[in-house]
Amino acid sequence: MPHKPLLAFCLALPVFLAGCGTIEKEKKVQMLDAALTTYGEAIRWGYFETAYGFLHPDKRQEIPKHLDNVRVTSYEVLQAPLMKSETEAEQVVRIEYVHKDVQQLRSLSDRERWVYDEATSNWWLDSGVPSFE
């Protein structure tokens, strides 16, 4: 009879470990959702410095000066985030904007590719910020 507690533990361990994996995956999904929301709001309201902060530090570049002339009027998710793997996600958005000096409405579709970095526990925008040409 002394083996029954050990047997119960051994049977419960895979369930517990699977639950831990599920919790960790759910945490990554929540972090992705927060990153997508904050990035989308930064683009929508023209906070390009914040938007560029979503690029991995190794890939960050100087914010182009012409973005001072861009006013975003719409940021719409066309394809909801799709998990390609546990560390990769993608969504498609449409962004409408005007160049302030010419007041002509323009539109672009952007396929955002996001990558999770285990070392920093962050989701980074791997596809880059649109150029708004």
The tens digit of pLDDT for each residue in 74-87 reads 999 999 999 999 99
Name the band, by pLDDT with cuts 50, 70 and 90, for residue 61: confident
| CATH number of this structure's domain 3-125, picked from the four choices 3.40.50.10490, 3.10.450.50, 3.40.50.720, 3.80.10.10 | 3.10.450.50
Total residue count of the chain as it appears in this document: 133
The 10s digit of each residue's pLDDT in 8-52 is: 555 554 555 445 457 788 899 999 999 999 999 999 999 999 999
- The kind and range of the H/E element at 94 are strand 88-99
Which residue, among 122, 63, 52, has the nearest Cα to 87 in the 3D structure? 122
∠ at Cα 81 (53, 24), nearest 5°? 80
